[in-house]
Amino acid sequence: MAEQKPGIPKGTRDFSPDEMIRRNYIFDTIRMVFQKYGYFPIETPAMENLMTLTGKSGEEADKLLFRILNSGNYLSGVSEKDISIDNLTGLTSKICEKGLRYDLTVPFARYVVQHRNDITFPFKRYQIQPVWRADKPQRGRYREFYQCDVDVIGSDSLLNEVELIQIINEVFGKLSLGVVIKLNNRKILTGISEMIGAPDKFQDITIALDKLEKTGIENVVKELLEKGLSQQAVDKLKPVLFMEGDHPEKSKQLKNILTGSETGLAGIHEMDFIFDRLDDTGLSGSCELDLTLARGLNYYTGTIIEVQARDAAIGSICGGGRYDDLTGIFGLPDVSGVGVSFGADRIYDVLLSLGLFPEKSGLTSRVLFINFGEKEERYCLGTVNRLRQADIPCELYPDRAKLKKQMKYADQKQVPFVVLIGENEMANNYLTIKNMSTGEQKQLTVEELIEMMR
């Protein structure tokens, strides 16, 4: 076989041990908090039927799906006229039935409907798995990345929103990362669309607003005018969106402005309830009502949430919201849910750039036993075994290599102690231990070593 240059598909990544240790620190922290709040884990398959995936998160999302070629003779149901660039979508649907999931929300909705008879509602679940998007790879944007989703479905109580905000606060607190939690409500945005005389432009407004941070207000306005919003409507919209003040002040103003919109007023009342409860739990200071927050996805119907790091300009590191009918398309209508998704990759980048990862991984062996030769290695095997029985991570260097090479191995793997057992040690039943950071050596019995490692 010819030699191949090793590489991986663009937009995908390998994770080295160092990266894995840091990633697991994030995942373990998130998982621990989810569990503390009574959420249970589930997992769904990487592949879903394309019927499940398409038409849920918008056209743009459908284009980004990775499709799996049918197994076997995938041309069997294809006629000659199917094969044409003009009919690419039609052809694709004949040769591909499955795709890789685009997010964890749609598979979750599918899961809930499929297993509804086995689920205790309200169903509090979390899910930490990779998703795939055929997006243009660029810095901080990958084609395979992990999402950490936490949702509660089957309860319309706003206490769920409060709980999710508590979870967000606790996760980032444990990660020592300062954040701002931005809140808004789709019903308030609906009210605003009505107030400016453009109730039919609600979708266009949310889609345009969602790009505000990336493109700036001029481009948002341009897009809105293109979508048919009048200049007058835009002029009415801007001061409302950029209204100043804290939640009580904004709430008061909004109640005046949206007095004619039942939906808008309902949204304000929901927001008031949430801020009240956040006050009770001492969290309202970390949260702000941001009327420009829109979230692009179609399925949100109430509260929307987005989290940004205080000290890094990296965009949203966590976001979500309430969806009133996501399961409807799969045959289970009128089930309200709310959830947020933590973006592990961006959180990783922020923690790394701010130096917030803990130094010690706790993963590496505590001791490396040097291999001096056949007799010594046999002797060491027994000692290594005793340490492992005491649950002390340790290893024996497998080859009878030069001492220097073995010490270098310990150094590079950051093993803190090295044990040397030679003729003298074997004859007198002790061992020599070397502290790799101070260079200090001393003699110990095995019992003393185990005691020391504990």
**DSSP 8-state assignment for residue 365:** -
436 binds a second copy per the rule CB under 8 A: no
DSSP string, 389-438: HTT--EEE-SS---HHHHHHHHHHTT-SEEEE--HHHHHHT-EEEEETTT
| Residue 353 CA: distances (Å) to CA of 23, 225, 301, 342 | 14, 39, 35, 18
- Residues in 170-209 that interact with a second copy by CB under 8 A: 170
429 binds a second copy per the rule CB under 8 A: no
- Residues in 254-273 that interact with a second copy by CB under 8 A: none
298 binds a second copy per the rule CB under 8 A: no
Exposure class string for 167-189: b at 16+ Cβ within 10 A, else e: bbbbbbeebebebebbbbbbbbb
330 binds a second copy per the rule CB under 8 A: yes
- Residues belonging to the chain: 454
446 binds a second copy per the rule CB under 8 A: no
Contact criterion met (CB below 8 Å) for 273 and 200? no
230 binds a second copy per the rule CB under 8 A: no
**Interatomic CA distance for residues 141 and 133, integer angstroms:** 10
Q: For Cα atoms 154, 261, 269, give the angle at the middle one, nearest 5 degrees.
A: 50
357 binds a second copy per the rule CB under 8 A: no
**Interatomic CA distance for residues 434 and 454, integer angstroms:** 17
Give the shortest CB-9-to-a second copy separation in angstroms.
Answer: 5
Give the shortest CB-67-to-a second copy separation in angstroms.
Answer: 4
- Residues in 50-89 that interact with a second copy by CB under 8 A: 51-52, 55, 66-69, 71, 73-76, 83-85, 88
Candidate ranges 221-229, 249-257, 312-320, 360-368; the one touching a second copy (CB under 8 A): 360-368
Contacts with a second copy: how many residues (CB under 8 A)?
110
Cα Rg of the chain (Å, integer): 29
103 binds a second copy per the rule CB under 8 A: no
Which residue from 164, 167, 186 is spatially nearest to 175, judged by alpha carbons? 167
- Residues in 116-155 that interact with a second copy by CB under 8 A: 118, 120, 122, 124-125, 130, 132, 134, 143-144, 152, 155
Of 74 and 242, which CB lies nearer to a second copy in the complex structure?
A: 74
Give the shortest CB-249-to-a second copy separation in angstroms.
Answer: 23
**Interatomic CA distance for residues 90 and 363, integer angstroms:** 51
**Interatomic CA distance for residues 342 and 46, integer angstroms:** 19
Give the shortest CB-245-to-a second copy separation in angstroms.
Answer: 25
- Residues in 1-40 that interact with a second copy by CB under 8 A: 1, 3-9, 12-17, 20-21, 24, 35-38, 40
Q: Which of residues 28, 60, 90, 115 is near a second copy by CB under 8 A? A: 115
Q: Facing residues of 396 across strands?
A: 369
Which residue from 268, 216, 266 is spatially nearest to 242, judged by alpha carbons? 216
Of 163 and 306, which CB lies nearer to a second copy in the complex structure?
A: 163
Give the shortest CB-232-to-a second copy separation in angstroms.
Answer: 34
383 binds a second copy per the rule CB under 8 A: no
Write the interaction track for a second copy spanning residues 407-426; mark x where CB under 8 A is met and - where it is not.
-xx--xx-x-----------
Candidate ranges 47-55, 229-237, 346-354, 432-440; the one touching a second copy (CB under 8 A): 47-55
Q: Which of residues 139, 359, 360, 382 is near a second copy by CB under 8 A? A: 382
Which residue from 449, 314, 295 is spatially nearest to 382, judged by alpha carbons? 449
Give the shortest CB-204-to-a second copy separation in angstroms.
Answer: 20
